Amino acid sequence: MKGSKHPKNDLTVNPSGNESILDVIARVDVTRRRFVQGSAGAGMLAAAGGLTLSGVVNAMEGHHPRHHHHKPVGIGFDGIPPSLALDGIKNVVDEVRVPDGYTANLLVAWGDPIVRGGVAYKADASNTAAEQAKQYGMHTDGMHFFPFANRGFGEGYRSDCGVLCANNEYTHEEVLFTDGQVGAGYTIEKCRKSQAAHGVSILEVNRTRNKWLIDSRSIYGRRITANTPMRISGPAAGHALMKTNEYDIQSNGSFPSGKTTNGFSARGTINNCANGITPWGTYLTCEENWNGNFGASAALPAVTTEAGKLYNRYGVTKDGFGYRWHTVDPRFDLAVNPNETNHFGWVVEIDPFDPAALPVKRTALGRIKHESAQYVVDANEHVAFYMGDDERNEYIYKFVCAKKFNKRNMRANRDMLDKGTLYVARFNADLSGQWIALTPDTVGLDGVALRNNPNFVGADDAEVLAKILIKTRMAADAVGATMMDRPEWTGARPRNRGFDEIEVYCTLTNNNRRGSSATPSSNKADGSTTAASARPAVDAANPREDNIYGHIIRWREDDQSVLATTFTWDIFVQAGDVSTTKTAKPTNDYKGNIVDSPDGSADLGAPDGLWFDWFGRLWVQTDQVGDGSGDWINIGANSLSCADPETKQFRRFLTGPNKCEVTGISMTPDGKTLFVGIQHPGEDSTAANPTLYSNWPASQWEKRADGVTPLPGGRPRSAVVVITKDDGGIIGA
Ligand code: FEO
Ligand code: CA
Ligand code: CA
């Protein structure tokens, strides 16, 4: 039994600077040696003289606390056993479990009022669309806690109150409506409720008498939904492909106003998966599987047309994922509003402290299925954002801002995301890599500069760039980027006085179309491949055939600069199950190679969420079926683990309820409160029986965190849990 392998508490994040990458070094050439040398003797957590939080407070007015790193605290908790299927076949215990000495509480769940005037969640899902628009959205995902300042307004360093920004990725229509999506027919009211449950939830949270509660009357409370007005900025703004029909969304129906947008305005954000933040204190929400929310009342244009090619490359189809928005809301009907898809697939910037500010779609960062956006500010104050495109055989990108970061005047950074260069990654077999600029000058595999490629031709280079950004995937195809095993979150290892490298990690969650075909194929250089249809052979960066369990890759920028166009890389770990009985493929054994003690005690699969805390510890969240069945019989429920980037040692910190995904993580500046997202508990349950697989969080708690308010059951609810250590100490230490 895995449970008997419960590891003991003897692990600290390695402060010695011992080179975990040395095994790679032994095989490297001069280029790769850089990768190694940079960290030799540089145990990042040694952090001699590392700033403590209190040393930062007030001394750095206007400077961001996230630029500072705290003294290492190590990994000091007892890893918990996997949450295995209760009957040995399927369905795990329907609760969140954390190590002894820690307490998890419910903070906010789908349907909780978070905006002034919001009404309480109704357990039969009879809340209206208008009510949902003031309640926490469904299917929570990436998030960030923005602490309040000690004095005045805006962001500061407090650890007892702040604004939580959280993504609401998608909806489970069978749970969202009393009678399910199709019960009494599909109506504009249902559509509007579904749209209102998507987007971003912004809420004030406070710790009072050691209880974290939400303030549903806060001036910061805000919902950003599929219908919220927003601005489009950057090189693609205003392009003809960005001009759409304008609709009167206030009406009960949805009636065209007969006008077109000018390409500088949009409505709504959807499929907000993981997130990012900026060094100037804003929140980034990333639009992932937006294609699935569209449909068409007539046949889509042929793939030979410009629109047809785009639909094909981004997976837009006539019926989408089964949402019916397009049947009642013509904005999402491609037969009448064909360019609306081009308003999605962006990174959207939101000011958490200004509820009146329009969110901004930043087109300079490219249009893909954005998973997350991790920033790095280098020693010269240059800024880059690292991003994955989460679909099988898609790519890893970085955006480098043209301007330097101004750490003395946050407002001066406001439009940093509008000017810069977007790059896509190529990973070479010798562990070197290139960042290939997606600019008009770049010459593609066919020997033709992108400005002369028929997919991007324009009146001038400004228009060429606009088209490159709207058709980012096709531009990346043209220049020969490396197809990856579903790039999910990116995370940057904190730098401090002991560790100066720019080292970025990316989860490659899984890929069942990798190397498992006798007839491998690639994304075609002319951008005509149907989304996720390629079946590439294994390569150095994606070495596992039929990659069920996924892996985590990392790279270091040459010259410790985000401007670098070359990097070195290695695979941090392959996830897997040491006890698997699954038949090995020629190029892999599915056992994985994380370091855990006893061996197998911290096994995980399908790594997805990935985040470095202020103490240099790597947190990894997983997204697999989550019921302990099949390939997950020894791994069990989805989980959150803590890992040491030097030694690759993992410990399991949290297991989730049945058929949930664990996604979204943030921490207070003092490290004493951890926020974790639990998404889609009871996934796939039916409208007739919403609690078929899960009744979480009611299955775990009878009362809200205030200890008074009853917590109704009746259907599973995605939610954020708040975790504290019973002795008041730093989480995980
Ligand atoms: Fe929404 Fe790629 O996870
Ligand atoms: Ca994800
Ligand atoms: Ca995922």
Burial class (CB in 10 A: 0-12, 13-18, 19+), 82: buried
Q: Which of 260, 269, 232 lies closest to 339 in space, CA to CA?
A: 260
pLDDT at 424: 99
pLDDT digits (tens, 9 = 90+) for 596-617: 999 999 999 999 999 999 999 9
Q: Whose CA is nearest to atom 3 of ligand 1?
A: 273
Burial class (CB in 10 A: 0-12, 13-18, 19+), 356: exposed
Cα 663 to Cα 104: distance, rounded to the nearest angstrom: 15
Residue 20 has pLDDT above 80, yes or no: no
Mean pLDDT of 439-466: 98
State which amino acid sits at residue 348. V
The answer to whether 328 and 186 are in contact (CB under 8 A) is: yes
457-471 burial: b if 16+ Cβ within 10 Å, else e = ebeebebbbbbbbbb
Percent of the chain with pLDDT over 70: 90
Which numbered atom of ligand 1 lies nearest the CA of 141?
1
The answer to whether 167 and 283 are in contact (CB under 8 A) is: no
CA of 511 to the centre of ligand 2 (A): 14
Helix, coil or strand: residue 566: strand
Mean pLDDT of 567-588: 94
At 451, list the tokens.
């400005």
Write the CA distances from 407 to 173, 444, 615, integer angstroms: 44, 37, 22
Q: Is 288 near ligand 1, meaning CB less than 6 Å away?
A: yes
Cα 32 to Cα 27: distance, rounded to the nearest angstrom: 9
Cα 335 to Cα 243: distance, rounded to the nearest angstrom: 15
pLDDT digits (tens, 9 = 90+) for 240-281: 999 999 998 887 777 888 899 999 999 999 999 999 999 999
Mean pLDDT of 567-573: 98
Residue 727 has pLDDT above 70, yes or no: yes
Which numbered atom of ligand 1 lies nearest the CA of 388?
2
pLDDT digits (tens, 9 = 90+) for 53-93: 222 222 233 334 454 567 889 999 999 999 999 988 899 99
CA of 428 to the centre of ligand 3 (A): 25
Q: Is 390 near ligand 1, meaning CB less than 6 Å away?
A: yes
CA of 239 to the centre of ligand 1 (A): 28
The answer to whether 308 and 301 are in contact (CB under 8 A) is: yes
Cα 687 to Cα 693: distance, rounded to the nearest angstrom: 12
Q: Which of 30-34, 299-303, 721-725 has the lowest mean pLDDT?
A: 30-34
Cα 396 to Cα 435: distance, rounded to the nearest angstrom: 9
Which numbered atom of ligand 1 lies nearest the CA of 271?
1
Cα 279 to Cα 64: distance, rounded to the nearest angstrom: 7
Does residue 296 come out as left (phi exceeding 0), alpha (psi in the -120 to 50 range) or beta? beta
pLDDT at 68: 54
Q: Is 329 near ligand 1, meaning CB less than 6 Å away?
A: no
pLDDT at 52: 22
Taking residue 409's Cβ as centre, other Cβ atoms within 10 Å add up to 10
Residue 548 has pLDDT above 60, yes or no: yes
CA of 647 to the centre of ligand 3 (A): 25
Q: How far apart are the first and last CA of the chain?
A: 27
Backbone angles phi, psi at 714, to 5 degrees: 105, -30
The answer to whether 733 and 76 are in contact (CB under 8 A) is: yes
pLDDT digits (tens, 9 = 90+) for 694-718: 999 999 999 998 899 999 999 999 9
pLDDT-based confidence at 13, cuts 50/70/90?
very low
Which residues, listed in sequence order, are joined to residue 146 by a DSSP beta bridge?
163
pLDDT at 498: 77
Number of residues that this document lists for the chain:
733
- Residues 6 or more apart whose CB falls under 8 angstroms from that of 77 comprise 9, 99, 101, 102, 642, 651, 653, 732, 733
pLDDT at 99: 98
Taking residue 95's Cβ as centre, other Cβ atoms within 10 Å add up to 19
CA of 390 to the centre of ligand 1 (A): 6
Cα 39 to Cα 560: distance, rounded to the nearest angstrom: 11
Burial class (CB in 10 A: 0-12, 13-18, 19+), 38: buried
Cα 40 to Cα 667: distance, rounded to the nearest angstrom: 29
| pTM exceeding 0.75 | yes
The answer to whether 702 and 712 are in contact (CB under 8 A) is: no
Mean residue pLDDT of the chain comes to 90
Q: What is the DSSP letter of 404?
A: P
pLDDT at 70: 75
Q: Is 371 near ligand 1, meaning CB less than 6 Å away?
A: yes
pLDDT digits (tens, 9 = 90+) for 524-544: 999 999 999 999 999 999 999
Highest mean pLDDT out of 99-113, 149-163, 490-504? 99-113
Residue with token string 């549903």: 216
pLDDT at 66: 53
- Residues 6 or more apart whose CB falls under 8 angstroms from that of 426 comprise 433, 434, 435, 436, 480, 481, 482
Q: Is 391 near ligand 1, meaning CB less than 6 Å away?
A: no
Residue with token string 């019989």: 633
The number of C-alpha atoms within 13 Å of 248 and in the hemisphere containing its C-beta is 8
CA of 416 to the centre of ligand 1 (A): 26
pLDDT-based confidence at 216, cuts 50/70/90?
very high
pLDDT-based confidence at 154, cuts 50/70/90?
confident
Which numbered atom of ligand 1 lies nearest the CA of 369?
2
Helix, coil or strand: residue 309: helix
- Residues 6 or more apart whose CB falls under 8 angstroms from that of 200 comprise 137, 165, 166, 167, 168, 223, 224, 269, 272, 283, 285, 350, 359
pLDDT-based confidence at 5, cuts 50/70/90?
very low
Helix, coil or strand: residue 704: coil
- Residues 6 or more apart whose CB falls under 8 angstroms from that of 586 comprise 545
H-run or E-run covering 720: strand 719-725
| Inter-helix orientation angle 472-479/306-314, to 10° | 80
Q: Is 169 near ligand 1, meaning CB less than 6 Å away?
A: yes
3-class secondary structure per residue, 107-149: EEECCCECCCCCCCCCCCCCCCHHHHCCECCCCEEEEEEEEEC
Residue with token string 């001069």: 30
Cα 199 to Cα 115: distance, rounded to the nearest angstrom: 14
Q: What is the DSSP letter of 467?
A: H
pLDDT at 410: 87
Ligand nearest to the CA of 271: 1
pLDDT at 249: 85
Q: Whose CA is nearest to atom 1 of ligand 1?
A: 273
Q: Is 635 near ligand 1, meaning CB less than 6 Å away?
A: no
CA of 608 to the centre of ligand 3 (A): 5
Computed on alpha carbons and rounded to an integer, the radius of gyration of the chain in Å comes to 24
Taking residue 411's Cβ as centre, other Cβ atoms within 10 Å add up to 8
Largest CA distance in the chain: 68
The answer to whether 560 and 38 are in contact (CB under 8 A) is: yes
pLDDT digits (tens, 9 = 90+) for 26-35: 333 333 323 3
588-605 burial: b if 16+ Cβ within 10 Å, else e = bebbbebebbeebbbbbb
Q: What is the DSSP letter of 548?
A: S
* Cα angle: 220, vertex 129, 332; to 5 degrees: 100
pLDDT at 32: 30
DSSP count for the chain of H helices, then E strands:
10, 32
- The torsion defined by the Cα of 261, 263, 269 and 270, in degrees rounded to 10, comes to 90
